Amino acid sequence: MSKKQISSALISVYDKTGLAPIIHELNNQGVTFYSTGGTDKFIRDLGYEVVAVEDITGYPSILGGRVKTLHPKVFGGILNRQEVVEDQKALAEFEIPQIDLVIVDLYPFEDTVAAGGSESEIVEKIDIGGIALIRAAAKNFADTFCVSDKTDYEDFLNIILANQGTTSLEERKKYAVKAFQTSSHYDTAIFNHFNTEEEVLKFSIKKEKKLRYGENPHQQGRFFGPLSELLEQVHGKEISYNNLLDIDAAVNLMLEFYDEGNSFAILKHNNACGFATRPSLKEAYLDALAGDPVSAFGGVLISNKTIDLKTADEINSLFCEVVIAPDYEETAMARLKEKKNRIILVQKNTPLPTNSYRTCLNGILVQDRDNKTDAVDDLDYVTEIKPSPQEVEDLIFASKISKHTKSNTIVLAKNGQLLASGTGQTSRVDALNQAIDKARHFKFDLQGAVMASDAFFPFPDCVEIAHKAGVTSILQPGGSIKDQLSIDYCNENNLSMVFTGTRHFKH
């Protein structure tokens, strides 16, 4: 039979939140309750009768609660096939009660890990009986209904209200899939916590966001992850696949300037087309926009400070897809909301994953995040002339932007402003020429500018080109067998150059 009436329920939950309405309705429908420990007490406190599991099994909860429900009289009631005569004879012979519904909320293993619990506390939050109950009920979805996630309580309550406690095979199978996902996710979290060998890669991300489409309209797209823990959308249209890629690039770039002065960045296709740090946020925005006012159209804007009304007034004259900031003045928010489709995000102080992943051929590439940020202490002054304090500041500024720009890249900067960058070029010379041409197109004076490169110069040609364009100081990781040629050119032409010792490729 596809339709099954719920006459009995085994309920064992860690968190009782939201459970009471279900208990009330099941009682109204004459359902017999079986339970253990705290859930038993919870149901009794609501005024309803409960059959304790130990009264069925003849064994009390033992080993400090580690063993409560692991018994044939419990699992026989869940796993029996109601259409199989031998199964029903076994239930009668061993006095095993039929169990039609299982509701379980597992011990909070992930929350205990996240809270910094000790190893013994974490181990004790590895649920054994609950997982077994979930798997058993899900396996027998032909006869048994399994609720394994408290986020499903409202939907389950609607099911039993609409059908007077009767469930369909389709509903039971749907919830069985959810139950197997619950158990799989739980086991993956446990494995990933204890695994130190890194021989197996396991993912389990519960939250899915369906996107309008993927990178292009003919591609489907989805995002998996708790996005709301990092970003709160307070206004605008639905975030797209491409928006998310640009937002990711913007957030990662601005993290480099988290503790810096008023900084503003404008990104397009994952690369910064404008960036500036200034005494006021309005000035930072205007100078970032000046870096490339053409590419800024339809871009993603991000600030490391609260956006005020003066800055919002300037932003409002630009068509942009997304604005991101840690906060907004009330009047600034009202101004930005005047464009109904503009996506406005509040960035929370939430750490990003420690690894990065991408599909490659028939597998997945995994690497540590590039958490190395070039700093003054990393600089190796390799030329006779040393950069001035302002040049050092600009070199570090340019290096941070270079780190988050597609390789091959060259970044030109001056006085805390991105003048131009060459992005994603097949040669470093092409990247430099692109940056120079772009800076000149937007009328920037390159005399006294600095240059940062994401990787070493295999030949001194880039140094020579940059010098002739007006660049006076250069930052690169070094490491080429011909580094000395670049150093010699700098010394012969009164340029300063520093090595960082760290390459920052981004492909």
Is residue 207 annotated as part of the catalytic site, yes or no?
A: no
Closest by Cα among 352, 325, 328, 343 to 263: 325
Q: How many C-beta atoms surround the C-beta of residue 123 within 10 A?
A: 13
Q: Which residues of 317-335 are buried (b: 16+ CB within 10 A; e: fewer)?
A: ebebbbbbbbebeeebbeb
User: Under 8 Å CB-to-CB from 366, ≥6 apart: which residues?
Assistant: 201, 355, 356, 357
CA distance 411 to 105: 53
Residue 341: phi and psi, rounded to 5, are: -90, -10
CA distance 334 to 329: 9
Instruction: State which H helix or E strand residue 395 sits in.
Output: helix 389-403
Closest by Cα among 102, 110, 111 to 131: 102
CA distance 325 to 307: 7
Q: Which listed residue (73, 235, 269, 339) is catalytic?
A: 269
421 forms beta bridges with: 411
Residue 166: strand, helix, or coil: strand
User: Under 8 Å CB-to-CB from 127, ≥6 apart: which residues?
Assistant: 14, 106, 107, 109, 186
CA distance 166 to 258: 56
CB of 373 closer than 8 Å to CB of 400: yes
User: Under 8 Å CB-to-CB from 297, ≥6 apart: which residues?
Assistant: 318, 319, 320
- What's the N-to-C CA distance of the chain in angstroms? 57
The tokens 């253990």 sit on which residue?
A: 36
CA distance 263 to 130: 50
Residue 15: strand, helix, or coil: coil
The tokens 């939250």 sit on which residue?
A: 207
Q: Which listed residue (73, 139, 174, 235) is catalytic?
A: 139
Is residue 237 annotated as part of the catalytic site, yes or no?
A: no
Catalytic center residues: 139, 269
